[in-house]
Homo-oligomer: A and B are copies of this chain.
Amino acid sequence: MLKKGVERKEVLRALGEVFRAHGYEGASLTLITEATGLGKGSLYHLFPGGKEQMATEVLADIDAWFELNIYAPLRNADDPARAIAAMIAGVDQYFHSGGRVCLVGMVALGAARDTFAASVDDYFARWQVALAQLLRRSGLSRSQAQRRAEDALLTIQGALVLARARSDAGIFRRALSDLTARLLAPPE
């Protein structure tokens, strides 16, 4: 029998990778059973809501990871430079230096966007707010802090797209490095 909490997390992780690799509509039940090692019976027992519930929970799981490893440290930090460095390091780790795609960004671009619009918006909104508040504490005006936080999110997303499009992880690393400098620059 499943150790409920633990196993479910592992299933969600496998689901996440399938969605990342094939997109929401492209992740067929066949692919999902292969990736998770679970038959349809188990799958629909764990997720009575089908694919949509799977994706919803995967997004929630991603959100939880970012809340714990990115947003909360940003909120609780008192040294902006260290906090930003930690965020960049966390992002670099999470996205495997550009080798791993952002599922949230992917969903945002696809047809499934409307179904998950709230989760998608929330993911970016909470990140931006947490980062902007930190930047504000470091001396930036409210609007400058918001703009820089927006720039940070957009740079990360763009770097992921371009790195994958050109199969060049260097793009991602260079973008993160430049971004760090831009975030830490003195107020204009």
The distance from the CB of A14 to the nearest CB of chain B, in whole angstroms, is 17
Residues of A at the B interface (CB closer than 8 Å) are 21-23, 25-26, 101, 104-106, 108-111, 113, 117, 120-121, 123-125, 147, 150-151, 153-162, 164-167, 171, 174-175, 178
Q: Is the CB of A105 within 8 A of B165?
A: yes
Contact (Cβ within 8 A) B22 A23 = no
Q: State whether A174 touches B158 (Cβ < 8 A).
A: no
Shortest A59–chain B CB gap in Å is: 12
How far is A186 from B164 in the complex, measured between Cα atoms in Å?
30
B165-A104 in contact (CB<8A)? yes
Q: Which residues of B contact A155 (CB under 8 A)?
A: 154-155, 158
- Is B111 a contact partner of A109 (Cβ separation < 8 A)? no
A161 surroundings in chain B (CB, below 8 A) = 105, 108-109, 154, 157-158, 161
Name the residue of chain B whose CB is nearest to the CB of A27.
B111
Report the minimum CB–CB distance from A185 to chain B (whole Å): 12
